[in-house]
């Protein structure tokens, strides 16, 4: 459904994304992962037709986003990280406006459907300026799906939301995926990806560093170990062991990437620092950290 | 077509959801009323003088002595008011990122620019309507040439539309409304004062070019009640040019 081939975007000498290629089959939900500034938004805006690429091409449903932008945009819904809303409009007026722009034939029905899908009934008559951040985010999502698009591009849909709202939005995305809708979802919150997405594409510093099924990707980090120690100094000591390629600190845990199977040696080396917890099973998060933070350590 | 009118309507209603629209409307109402009263006072003074002076009485008429100066003053006022009205048209959308909705909808850049222009045009009609009490008083208690009055209104409307569309273009160049305002104001004043240069200069190609460019020369020509195609075409092409330029700029925003 979405084909991206060799997409490159340069701003002067700075390269925002470099030779990015991936494809998303119809009906799949893909998580687009990467740290802030990795090029997620740039890639998504190019697919949505609000930014041009310096090189490469993107097609949606077989239509080139540059040659036939209107055809692409009529089947695509894009929710940017900052909701593209007019604060001085009411929620229902804004969604009706978005529906007209997107060429919907029955505007009142489409507006009502989007309002109820996003749980905006209570605030439909309120000015968007007066809504909480969570509701504004939902209005931003509502405009993306008001025309019932086949493809949804969601850029950090849960950013700035509280944990309860995150869960709501996540459930909503799962509902949206019902049927054969194709969804690309960008985030740097990994917990969001595992329950929703079948596949992930990881981008770092403008380049794709991995793309695979979630299960396969977790398995790929076979030589990853996650451990917690009581005393400081373990990172340096473990990092110095032969065979260790990286040590990353994350939320009080050390994520160690090794070239070979060396769980026993790592455990032994960690004991003097007061080993509290040790897990040899790689999680998606660990793979992600290892892939996106390797260079930072080097 | 629906999208065009939806954009126009949103822009028009946006003026009233925003203090800037109301403040500009109020300021223009007060200033136009003030100029109207001042012009009436001056006119009645002339009238009183002309009782003693038959040659002056034969030359004095309400069209030249009241309508033309009043509309001239309205035009200068609008030169200052319109930049404040046009500055937000695209700059605000860019700053708030609401522009993404327009850019990612299946709507061409031409429709976006024309929709914004039509919204501004609808507000320009409001500006004309707010001066209607003056025109009503003239028709009710004076004996003006209706042709002169209508031609002046047409010229004033086309000028307002042109200035607002020029402001629309400058608004598309930047995310800063203040920058958009200064660009519109500066260019508007420049196009106004080149008229003085043209009047002062020697005959020649440059003078002709400057005269054609000058807003004032086209307005003066229409203000006297003479409806010439070239003046209407100038003011309309001013609007068309800046609408086209805005569409190009919006297209560039998509692909930059």
Average pLDDT over residues A147-158: 90
What is the model's pTM? 0.84
List pLDDT tens digits, range A187-197. 877 777 877 88
- Measured between alpha carbons, how far is A78 from A73 in angstroms, rounded to an integer? 9
Annotated domain spans of chain B = 2-255
Q: What percent of chain A stands above pLDDT 70?
A: 95
- Alpha-carbon distance B21 to nearest alpha carbon in chain A (angstroms): 13
Phi first, then psi: what are they for B47, rounded to 5°? -60, -45
Q: Which two tokens stand for residue A45?
A: 């805006």
pLDDT exceeds 50 at position A298: no
Q: Give the pair of three-digit tokens for residue A46.
A: 């190019």
Length of chain A: 298
**Residues in chain A closer than 8 A to B18 (CB atoms):** 88
Min Cα–Cα distance to chain B from A87, Å:
9
Residues A40-77: tens digit of each pLDDT: 899 999 999 888 888 899 999 889 988 888 999 999 99
Between B17, B96, B107, which is nearest A101 by CB?
A: B107
Structure confidence at residue A294 (pLDDT): 56
Cα(A263)–Cα(A279) distance, rounded to whole angstroms? 9
Q: How confident is the model at residue B201 (pLDDT cuts 50, 70, 90)?
A: low
d(C-alpha A75, C-alpha A121), whole Å:
25
Residue B175: list chain A partners with CB under 8 A. none
| φ, ψ for residue A245, nearest 5 deg | -100, -30
Rounded distance between C-alpha atoms, residue A102 and residue B38, angstroms: 51
Contacts of B46 (CB under 8 A, 6+ apart): B56, B60, B65
Which chain A residue has the Cα nearest residue B115?
A: A101
In tens, the pLDDT along A91-123 reads: 999 999 999 999 999 999 999 999 998 888 999
Domains belonging to chain A, first-starting first, are: 2-75+150-217 (3.40.50.300), 221-297 (3.30.70)
In percent, how much of chain B has pLDDT > 70? 96
**Cα–Cα distance measured from residue B22 to residue B128, given in angstroms and rounded to the nearest whole number:** 14
Over 70: is that where the pLDDT of B232 sits? yes
Band the pLDDT of A221: cuts 50, 70, 90. Answer: low
Q: Do A73 and B101 touch (CB under 8 A)?
A: no
Residue holding tokens 């500006």?
B127
Spatial distance between the Cα atoms of B119 and A56, rounded to a whole number of angstroms: 38
Mean pLDDT of the B28-54 span? 88
What ipTM score was computed for the predicted complex, to two decimals? 0.87
Residue A297 above 50 pLDDT?
no
Beta carbons within 8 Å of A23's beta carbon, 6+ residues apart: A2, A3, A4
Residues 6+ apart with CB under 8 A from B48: none
> In chain B, which residues touch A (CB < 8 A)?
2-3, 6-7, 10, 14, 17-18, 96-108, 254-256
* DSSP code for A283: P
- When pLDDT is cut at 50, 70 and 90, the band that residue A287 belongs to is confident
Q: What is the pLDDT of residue A296?
A: 44
A244-248: average pLDDT: 82
CA atoms within 13 A on the CB side of B50: 15
Phi (first) and psi of residue A189, to 5 degrees: -100, 105
Helix intervals (H) in A125-213: 133-145, 163-176, 190-196
């Amino acid at each position: 459904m979405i084909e991206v081939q060799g997409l490159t975007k340069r701003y002067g000498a700075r390269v925002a994304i470099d030779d990015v290629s991936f494809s998303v089959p119809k009906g799949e939900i893909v998580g687009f992962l990467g740290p802030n500034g990795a090029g997620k938004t740039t890639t998504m805006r190019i697919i949505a037709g609000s930014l041009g690429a310096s090189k490469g091409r993107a097609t949606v449903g077989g239509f080139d986003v540059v040659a036939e932008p209107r055809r692409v945009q009529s089947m695509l819904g894009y929710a940017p990280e900052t909701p593209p809303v007019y604060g001085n409009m009411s929620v229902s007026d804004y969604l009706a406006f978005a529906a007209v722009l997107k060429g919907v034939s029955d505007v009142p029905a489409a507006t009502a459907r989007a309002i109820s899908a996003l749980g905006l009934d209570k605030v439909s008559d309120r000015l968007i300026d007066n809504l909480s951040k969570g509701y504004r985010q939902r209005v931003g999502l509502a405009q993306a799906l008001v025309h019932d698009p086949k493809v949804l591009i969601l850029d950090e849909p849960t950013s700035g939301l509280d944990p309860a709202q995150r869960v709501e939005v996540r459930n909503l995305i799962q509902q949206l995926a019902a049927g054969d809708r194709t969804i690309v979802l960008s985030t740097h919150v990994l917990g969001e990806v595992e329950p929703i997405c079948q596949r992930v594409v990881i981008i770092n510093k403008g380049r794709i560093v991995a793309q695979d099924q979630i299960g396969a990707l977790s398995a790929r980090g076979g030589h990853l170990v996650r451990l917690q120690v009581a005393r400081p100094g373990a990172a340096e000591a473990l990092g110095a062991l032969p065979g260790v390629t990286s040590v990353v600190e994350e939320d009080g845990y050390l994520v160690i990437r090794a070239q070979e199977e060396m769980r026993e040696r790592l455990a032994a080396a960690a004991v003097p620092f007061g080993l509290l917890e040790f897990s040899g099973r790689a999680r998606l998060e660990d793979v992600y950290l290892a892939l996106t933070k390797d260079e930072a350590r080097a | 077509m629906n999208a065009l009118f939806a954009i126009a309507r949103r822009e028009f209603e946006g003026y009233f959801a925003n203090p800037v629209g109301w403040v500009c409307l109020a300021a223009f109402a007060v200033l136009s009323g003030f100029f109207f009263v001042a012009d009436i006072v001056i006119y009645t003074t002339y009238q009183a003088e002309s009782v003693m002076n038959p040659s002056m009485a034969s030359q004095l008429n309400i069209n030249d002595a009241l309508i033309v100066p009043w509309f001239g003053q309205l035009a200068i006022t609008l030169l200052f008011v319109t930049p404040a009205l046009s500055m937000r048209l695209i700059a605000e959308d860019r700053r708030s990122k609401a522009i993404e909705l327009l850019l990612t909808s299946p709507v061409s850049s031409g429709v976006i620019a024309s929709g914004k222009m039509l919204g501004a045009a609808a507000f320009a009609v409001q500006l004309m309507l707010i001066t209607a009490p003056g025109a009503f008083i003239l028709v009710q208690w004076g004996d003006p040439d209706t042709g002169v009055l209508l031609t002046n209104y047409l010229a004033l409307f086309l000028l307002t539309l042109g200035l607002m569309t020029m402001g629309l273009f400058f608004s598309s160049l930047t995310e800063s409304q203040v920058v958009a305002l200064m660009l519109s104001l500066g260019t508007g004043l420049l196009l106004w004062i080149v008229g003085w240069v043209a009047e002062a200069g020697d005959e020649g190609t440059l003078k002709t070019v400057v005269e054609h460019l000058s807003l004032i020369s086209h307005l003066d020509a229409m203000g006297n009640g003479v409806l010439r195609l070239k003046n209407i075409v100038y003011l309309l092409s001013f609007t068309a040019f800046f609408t086209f330029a805005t569409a190009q700029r919006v297209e560039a925003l998509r692909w930059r």
